[in-house]
Amino acid sequence: MPSTLPDGEPVPADGALPPEALAGVGQRGFGVYVHVPFCASRCGYCDFNTYTAAELGPDGGSSVDAYLEAVEAELRLAGRVLGGAAPPASVFFGGGTPTLLHPDQLARLLDGVAETFGLAADAEITTEANPESVDPASLRALRAAGFNRISLGMQSTAPHVLAVLDRRHTPGRAAAAAREARAAGFEHVNLDLIYGTPGETAADFDASLAAAVAAGADHVSAYSLIVEDGTRLAARIRRGELPMPSDDVAADRYLAAEAALVAAGFAWYEVSNWALKTPAASPDARCRHNLIYWRGEDWWGFGPGAHSHVGGVRWWNVKHPAAYAGRLAEQRTPAHARELLGPAERGLEEVMLRLRLAEGLPLATLGAAGRTAAAHALAEGLLEPGPYAEGRAVLTLRGRLLADGVVLRLVADHEIADQEQAAACS
């Protein structure tokens, strides 16, 4: 089950933001996330904030209708708080399984977003979907409602891997759904893959990559299987029923993903994300929504457990759908708590997120110790020499394999800067 929420500062009942955070709203990039917290069944590896019908029980406060009304109430609250926000450049429905809702229900929420903020004519409008939860008719209905990008959880095409992951779809269903999405007119199609699952062979993962490419996806996200505490997968590993995923295998799989995807015309733009770069592809297949997160711009996350960030204020909603709907029914913000990020914290986040992007981290963002660490990383072949000479830290392929470690070395500088600041103030 989802873990408890972190504490932070209390949020005013009307959700109001400090004027410093509101300054610049409309000038920075802005995205909308809508969290749909329902799944038909829970995959054994997943600790996302999502609930099956059995987990929700008969409580009326967590019905789909109550959820829809609550999101609409949060939209009205956001409209009051943000006032003149520019129309979002992207809207992303994630989950959970958004496509457990009827296309008309997703259309109703998308209309609510458009009524609240307007929508840029070229906005990227994505829904996540489980392969078995869409069909040609529902995909056509979603396209007609304005969705132009779909992100399907393929995970693998190997039956024994899908079984270990507790996936409900057949091996070929994700590729078929991707083709159906293209036929329905979706401009962009992403397929999520997971590698390093116990029992997966190199050939299994190669076959999954080939199937993703052949299905006509213009974007692939490939994630190393993370064993999250409290999941069924973690319990099975603890009991010795399954081996712990190996870091060496994960590195080999990452190299396989890079080789197969580059050969098919894709290029990485974030450590775990590749977008098609051929002239036949739409102008830019990178996910604009995720780039808003990674560049530290503004987004409002609607729905139970959703996180938001506006101008250095980050807040997170209560997790349970009934608690979420209850707060909004009482005309109160659904935010559980928030934190106001100071310059040091924002700098730290910038290093952590931007270093994972192919566009790289401006070296000027780093303090003296961070720049020294970057020079060492360059000498060790972890950063690309060309961009470095132009003032940007961009990971090499080896650097991407060791991305978390490189980030830690570069951010050590921020910790030193914080300590120096604390010492100076004491």
Ligand X SMILES: C[S@@+](CC[C@H](N)C(=O)[O-])C[C@H]1O[C@@H](n2cnc3c(N)ncnc32)[C@H](O)[C@@H]1O
Residue with smallest beta-carbon separation from ligand X: 153
User: Residue 137 phi/psi, 5° resolution?
Assistant: -70, -45
Of the candidate residues 72, 74, 124, 128, the single one contacting ligand X (CB under 6 A): 128
Contact of residue 226 among ligand X, ligand SF4, none (CB under 5-8 Å per partner type): ligand X
Of the candidate residues 96, 98, 245, 321, the single one contacting ligand SF4 (CB under 6 A): 96
CB-based contact 181:150 (threshold 8 Å) = yes
End-to-end CA gap in the chain: 43
Report the residue number, 96 or 171, with the smaller CB distance to ligand SF4: 96
Report the residue number, 159 or 381, with the smaller CB distance to ligand SF4: 159
Residue 318: closest CA among 338, 298, 293, 299: 338
Q: Any contact of residue 97 with ligand SF4 (CB under 6 A)?
A: yes
Which residue stretch of 94-102, 225-233, 274-282, 299-307 sits at the interface with ligand SF4 (rule: CB under 6 A)? 94-102
Which residue stretch of 13-21, 41-49, 112-120, 180-188 sits at the interface with ligand X (rule: CB under 6 A)? 41-49
Report the residue number, 132 or 339, with the smaller CB distance to ligand SF4: 132
Contact string (CB under 6 A) for ligand X, positions 171-210, x = contact: ---------------------x-x----------------
CB-based contact 51:340 (threshold 8 Å) = no
* CA 17 to each of CA 11, 12, 24, 82: distance values in angstroms, whole numbers, following the listed order: 9, 8, 13, 8
Q: How does strand 149-155 pair with strand 124-129?
A: parallel
Which residue stretch of 36-44, 182-190, 332-340, 378-386 sits at the interface with ligand SF4 (rule: CB under 6 A)? 36-44
DSSP result, 117-186? H---TT-EEEEEE-GGG--HHHHHHHHHHT--EEEEEEE-S-HHHHHHTT--S-TTHHHHHHHHHHHTT-
333 alpha-carbon distance from chain centroid: 23
Report the residue number, 99 or 116, with the smaller CB distance to ligand SF4: 99
Tell me the longest C-alpha to C-alpha distance in the chain: 65
Q: Any contact of residue 112 with ligand SF4 (CB under 6 A)?
A: no
**Residues with Cβ within 8 Å of residue 78, at least 6 apart in sequence:** 15, 116, 117, 300, 302
Site for ligand SF4 in 122-141 (CB under 6 A): 130
Q: Any contact of residue 50 with ligand SF4 (CB under 6 A)?
A: yes
Q: Any contact of residue 92 with ligand X (CB under 6 A)?
A: no
Report the residue number, 106 or 393, with the smaller CB distance to ligand X: 106
Report the residue number, 50 or 290, with the smaller CB distance to ligand SF4: 50
Q: Any contact of residue 25 with ligand SF4 (CB under 6 A)?
A: no
Contact of residue 223 among ligand X, ligand SF4, none (CB under 5-8 Å per partner type): ligand X
Q: Any contact of residue 153 with ligand SF4 (CB under 6 A)?
A: yes
**Residues with Cβ within 8 Å of residue 228, at least 6 apart in sequence:** 45, 46, 47, 234
Q: How far is the CB of 348 from ligand X (least distance, A)?
A: 24
Q: Any contact of residue 69 with ligand X (CB under 6 A)?
A: no
Coil vs helix vs strand at 207: helix
Q: Any contact of residue 95 with ligand X (CB under 6 A)?
A: yes
- Computed from CA positions of residues 99, 102, 107, 109, in that sequence, does the dihedral angle turn out positive or negative? negative
Sheet strands side by side (includes 266-270) = 266-270, 273-276, 219-224, 188-195, 149-155, 124-129, 90-95, 30-36, 298-302, 307-310, 313-317, 335-340
Q: How far is the CB of 190 from ligand X (least distance, A)?
A: 9
Residues that bind ligand X (CB under 6 A): 45-46, 48, 95, 97, 128, 130, 153, 155, 192, 194, 223, 225-226, 228
Residues at the interface with ligand SF4 (CB under 6 A): 39, 42-43, 46, 48, 50, 95-97, 130, 153
